[in-house]
Amino acid sequence: MKFMQIAALAAMTWWGSQAAAAYPDHPIKVVVPFPAGQTTDILARAMADEMAKVVGQPIYIENKGGAGGIIGIEAAKRAPNDGYTVLIASSGPLAINPNLYKDIPYQTMEDFEPVAMILEVPQFLVARSDFPAKNLNELIELVKKNPEKYNYASGGVGLTNHLTMEMLKNQTGMEIRHIPYRGATAALTGLIGGDTQMMFESGPAIMSHVEAGRLKIFAVGSKKGSPRFPDVKSVHEAGVDGFDAATWMAVMVPKGTSPEIIQTLNRVTNEVLQLPSVQEKFTAVTATARIATVEETREFLTRELALWKETIDKGNIKPE
C-alpha cells in the first residue's frame, strides 16, 4: 500500500512538472486596458512581438479601453488563471484608480499576481521658457512668496500629472491652483498659450515643445533622473528629499496563477527587456527598462499604492 502511495505521488509530481514545462502550448492573450495606438498599447505590442519569439507561441493584444483603464482591468481579473491571459497596464489603473475610486470593481494586489516590471517614464516639470525662475528652487520660492498667484495644468483630476504636482505641493508647502483640462494635449496648449504657468508631463508629450524652445524643463520627477536629459536635476536632487514620481508599466496575471507560470513569464519579460531593439523603442519615448524579480515587482507595486494613497488623501482629491 505504501509503495502504491509513493508511486502515485511520483506520478503526480512528474505530470505536474511536465505541465509546467509545456507552458505555453497555445497562444497567449495580453489585455491592454487602453485603446489601440496609445503609448501603453504601442509598447505592449513591442513587448508581445518579442516575447512570442522567445516562448514559441503567438501572443496577441486585446484592447479593452474605457473608464480610465477600469474596464480592461476588470476583464483581465475575470479571466482564467491559467497563464493564457496576461495583463499589461500602467500606473494609473494599477496604483491610482484603486485609491481614487470608492466603488472600483478590482483591487490590484487582491485580484492579481505581480509578474514583472516593464519600464518607467519620468514626469517632467515644465513651464514656459519666459517663466521668471531659473531652476526648481527658485520656482518653489517664487510660488511660496505669492500664494495662489500661480496655477498649474493637468490632463484631468486623478491623472498622474495632476497627482505628481499635488505630491510636490505636499512636500514643499506651495499653494498653487489646479486647472484641469480634458487631456494632456489641451493642457499643454493652455500652458504654451499662457493660461497656466506650469505642469508635470511625460517626455513624449513635451519633447517637441522643449526642443522648439517653447517650454523649459525645471526638474525630473523620477528620483533616477532622465538619461534623455542628463543635465536636468531630479526633484530629489534639487532638495525635495525622497521625491520620486514616474509613470510605469507592469505585467500581471489573475490571482491564483501558478508560481511556475509566473516565474516563466518573469524570465521571458526580463529577457526581452534586455534586447537592444526593445530598449531603442523605450528610449524614443524617454522610458527606461526596469528589470525586476517577481518579489521586487510585488514590493514596488505595494509602495506605489501607498504613495498615491497618501497623495490622494492629503489633497482630499475626489474624482470628477
Residue that is written with C-alpha cell 514656459 in the block: 128
Q: Are 215 and 112 in contact (CB under 8 A)?
A: no
Do 87 and 30 contact (CB within 8 A), yes or no? Answer: yes
Counted residue by residue, the chain has a size of: 320
CATH of region 27-121+247-314: 3.40.190.150
Taking residues 159-167, what's their average pLDDT? 94
pTM, to two decimals: 0.85
Q: Using only C-alpha atoms, what is the Rg of the chain? A: 22
Q: Give CA separation, 164 vs 56, 123, 312, in Å.
A: 40, 8, 10
Residue 14 scores a pLDDT above 50: no
Could you state, in order of their start, the residue ranges of all structural domains in the chain?
27-121+247-314, 122-220
User: What CATH number does the domain located at 122-220 have?
Assistant: 3.40.190.10
User: Over the stretch 200-226, which tens digit does the pLDDT of each residue have?
Assistant: 998 888 988 999 999 999 999 999 888
| 10 or 212, which is more confident | 212
Q: Is the pLDDT confidence value at 80 over 90?
A: yes
Instruction: Compute the mean pLDDT over every residue in the chain, rounded to the nearest whole number.
Output: 91
Is pLDDT at 13 greater than 90 in this prediction? no
Q: Predicted confidence band at 19 (pLDDT cuts at 50, 70, 90)?
A: very low
Angle at 253 between CA 251 and CA 259, to 5 degrees: 105
Q: Do domains 27-121+247-314 and 122-220 have the same CATH topology?
A: yes
Span of 4-8, 18-22, 90-94, 303-307 with lowest mean pLDDT: 4-8
21 pLDDT tier (thresholds 50, 70, 90): low
Q: What is the mean pLDDT of residues 87-91?
A: 96
Residue 267 buriedness (CB in 10 A; 0-12 / 13-18 / 19+): middle
Cβ(125)–Cβ(131) below 8 Å: no
Residues of the chain above pLDDT 70, percent: 93
In this prediction, residue 59 carries a pLDDT of 97
